């Protein structure tokens, strides 16, 4: 089963030869998908991680094609990390899906609007620059390294600069569908990282974050228990919306994350952005 999924992440070298890249590090590079084949490879990687590894529940169509597919894929930009390897068969080993506010408003809106009321954030975006929704992030197990994550962030940083993005946002996940099992982590996020009202998306279904009173749980243990992606977002200045969302299809408890671009720690933007990185 797993071998079939991995094979579909491959991309023809001839196709990549015609597509611009943002940056390269060793045998890895980061770029935007420019073809249906590249998007299909990203969907295959997502299927491998979300469904085969993390226990999400695929639809019949997803299972038949062994790809994670939804109606947003055709309007989003897809950021890819490509491993060119030593066998002459490049493959997608990391991906992010990105949706700009101007594109969302011309189509079906933001994916996160199915879980959260985005009203305050949308008003902020219209007044001060574009919003960018990040989603469907995943990295192949053997490539969960600093090099891969750095390339993904370098691609995001270039995209922010090119498109005048003021805020990043999206949903980040804790594994499983029982919020009580993550009571300390959720309470920590609420007590220490809650977004201000003008940026605070609110869960459509009431599912509290503040499950344990402040001061009555081990803050350091709660921090350590957070998934790496959420820890990474917090390091660059992320804040959290109000409430969690239980996503039973994806076997996750989701929290809303928002990051003002101007507030992202300066050393991160300097590290990941160069003058020659358009997207």
In a domain, residue 56? The reply is yes
Please provide the DSSP assignment of 140-203 as one string: -GGG-SHHHHHHHHHHHHHHHHHHTEEEEEEEEEEESS-GGGGHHHHHHHHHHHBPPGGG--EE
Q: What pLDDT does residue 137 have? A: 96
In a domain, residue 277? The reply is no
In a domain, residue 11? The reply is yes
- By residue count, the chain amounts to 279
**Residue 116 half-sphere exposure toward CB, CA atoms < 13 A:** 28
Count: domains in the chain: 1
Q: Report the distance separating Cα 124 and Cα 121, nearest Å.
A: 5
Q: What pLDDT does residue 6 have? A: 39
In terms of residue numbers, what domain contains 166? Answer: 2-272
94-110 as b/e: b if 16+ CB within 10 A: bbbbbbbbebbeeeebb
Q: What pLDDT does residue 55 have? A: 93
In a domain, residue 263? The reply is yes
276, pLDDT greater than 90: no
Q: What percentage of the chain carries pLDDT values higher than 70?
A: 91
In a domain, residue 233? The reply is yes
- Tell me whether residue 33 is exposed, middle or buried, using C-beta atoms within 10 angstroms of its C-beta: 0 to 12, 13 to 18, 19 or more: buried
**Residue 268: CB atoms within 10 Å:** 15
> Could you report the per-residue pLDDT of 255-273, keeping only the tens digit for each?
999 999 887 755 565 555 5
In a domain, residue 110? The reply is yes
The CB-based long-range contact list for 269-278 (8 Å cut-off, 24+ gap) reads 269/157, 271/150, 272/150, 272/153, 272/154, 272/156, 272/157, 272/158, 273/154, 273/157, 273/158, 273/160, 273/161, 274/23, 274/158, 277/22, 277/23, 277/154, 277/157, 277/158, 277/161, 278/22, 278/158, 278/162
Quick one: average pLDDT of 33-46?
95
- Tell me whether residue 141 is exposed, middle or buried, using C-beta atoms within 10 angstroms of its C-beta: 0 to 12, 13 to 18, 19 or more: exposed
Q: Report the distance separating Cα 112 and Cα 115, nearest Å.
A: 5
pTM: 0.90
In a domain, residue 278? The reply is no
Quick one: average pLDDT of 192-216?
96
Q: What is the 8-class DSSP label of residue 279?
A: -
Place of tokens 């011309």: 106
229, pLDDT greater than 80: yes
> Could you report the per-residue pLDDT of 74-122, keeping only the tens digit for each?
999 999 999 998 787 899 999 999 999 999 999 999 999 999 999 999 9
The enclosing domain of 142 has a CATH number of 3.40.630.30
Query: Dihedral sign, CA of 67, 70, 71, 77?
Result: negative
In a domain, residue 118? The reply is yes
Q: What pLDDT does residue 125 have? A: 63
Q: Are 258 and 169 in contact (CB under 8 A)?
A: yes
């Amino acid at each position: 089963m797993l071998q079939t999924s991995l094979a579909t992440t491959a991309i023809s070298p001839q196709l990549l030869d015609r597509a611009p890249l943002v940056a390269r590090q060793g045998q890895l590079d980061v770029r935007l998908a420019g073809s249906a084949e590249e998007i299909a490879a990203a969907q295959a990687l997502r299927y491998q991680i979300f469904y085969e590894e993390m226990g999400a529940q695929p639809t019949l169509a997803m299972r038949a094609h062994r790809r994670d597919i939804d109606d947003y894929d055709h309007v989003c930009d897809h950021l890819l990390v490509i491993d060119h390897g030593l066998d002459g068969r490049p493959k997608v080993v990391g991906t992010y899906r990105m949706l700009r506010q101007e594109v969302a408003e011309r189509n079906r809106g933001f994916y996160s609007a199915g879980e959260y009321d985005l009203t305050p954030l949308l008003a902020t975006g219209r007044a001060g620059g574009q919003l960018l929704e990040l989603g469907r992030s995943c990295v192949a197990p053997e490539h969960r390294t600093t090099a891969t994550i750095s390339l993904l962030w370098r691609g995001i940083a270039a995209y922010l600069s090119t498109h005048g993005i003021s805020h990043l946002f999206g949903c980040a996940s804790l594994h499983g569908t029982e919020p009580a099992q993550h009571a300390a982590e959720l309470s920590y996020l609420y007590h220490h990282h809650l977004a201000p009202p003008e940026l605070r998306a609110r869960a459509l279904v009431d599912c509290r974050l503040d499950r344990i009173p402040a001061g009555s749980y081990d803050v350091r243990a709660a921090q350590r228990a957070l998934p790496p992606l959420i820890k990474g977002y917090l390091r660059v200045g992320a804040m959290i919306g109000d409430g969690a969302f239980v996503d039973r299809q994806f076997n996750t408890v989701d929290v809303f994350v928002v990051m003002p671009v101007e507030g992202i720690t300066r050393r991160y933007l300097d590290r990941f952005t160069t003058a020659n990185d358009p997207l």
